[in-house]
Amino acid sequence: MGGQVRIKYILICLLLAAVIVFVYSLKCDRSDKPPTAAYRPPTDTWVTIPRSVHTTDTVTKTLYVPIVQTPPHDTVFIGIDTAQILREYFTNSLYKEVYSDSAMEIEITDSIAHNRLVSQSVRYKTKIPPVPPAVQLWAGVIADTRKTTGVALYLKDKKQRLYGVGFSTDKSVCFSVAVPLFKTGGTR
């Protein structure tokens, strides 16, 4: 049953992704304009800004000529506590994530030091109670007022009925059938 739910979930996710790609493709500009250069952050103090220049010859074409400009400088000073940064760098930090649903609870614990994952542990706990066996076989002892003893085997079925057969020391055989009189939470 869980496999069918997982397949349905995967199909729904794929369908949703296809719809998102379709809607995004509708919003894209499909004109025949040539692409403009993407902005790149300055590596030094120079920034290239694309600018188009039109020239006319027997064939009309557009040339893109980059113009170099110097951006304005602005210096910002931030108070930095180096000791605090080093203290956090050398500290072993623990992060715990807990994921839970109706069937299972998963706990993931990560230990991080020196900006690296040092250790990771995963613990899980199932929330589904164990199912008792449908049929149970019991063994017992027989004793009566005639001072005879013996052994007995009992079989308990799905409907909580008890069937038994016993053998005593005086070589007699006894059979028994029992039904429950009370159930948990009320009478029968």
80 phi, psi to nearest 5 deg: -115, 130
DSSP E strands in the chain: the ranges are: 47-55, 61-69, 93-100, 104-113, 116-126, 136-143, 149-156, 162-168, 173-178, 182-183, 186-187
* Pairing label, strands 173-178, 162-168: antiparallel
Residue 114 per-residue DSSP state: T
Which residue type, as a one-letter code, is found at position 152?
A: A
Tokens of 73: 């400088």
How many whole angstroms separate alpha carbon 68 and alpha carbon 52?
13
Q: Using alpha carbons, list the distances in angstroms from residue 182 to 93, 156, 161, 164, 186.
A: 55, 15, 12, 20, 7
Q: Coil, strand or helix: which one is 34? A: coil
**Is the Cα dihedral 21, 23, 25, 29 positive or negative?**
negative
Give residue-wise pLDDT tens across range 47-63: 555 555 555 555 556 66
Q: Which of 41-50, 76-85, 86-95, 154-163 has the highest mean pLDDT?
A: 86-95
Q: Which of 115, 159, 113 is nearest to 136 (CA)?
A: 159
Q: Each residue of 84-140: pLDDT tens digit?
A: 888 888 899 999 999 988 888 999 999 998 888 999 999 999 888 777 778 888 888
- Note the pTM of the prediction, 2 decimals: 0.32
Q: Locate the domains of the chain by residue range.
A: 82-126, 136-187
Query: Residue 29's pLDDT band (boundaries 50, 70, 90)?
Result: low
Query: Of 2-16, 34-48, 144-158, where does mean pLDDT reach its minimum?
Result: 34-48
- Predicted local distance difference test score (pLDDT) of residue 54: 54
The arithmetic mean of pLDDT across residues 10-26, rounded, is: 82
What is the C-alpha separation between 90 and 164, in angstroms, rounded?
70
Q: State the CB neighbour count (10 A cutoff) for residue 87.
A: 10
What is the band of 156 on the pLDDT scale with cuts at 50, 70, 90?
Answer: confident
Return the residue matching tokens 């557009």. Answer: 62
Residue indicated by tokens 């199932």? 126
- Residues 106 and 108: their CA atoms lie apart, in Å, by 7
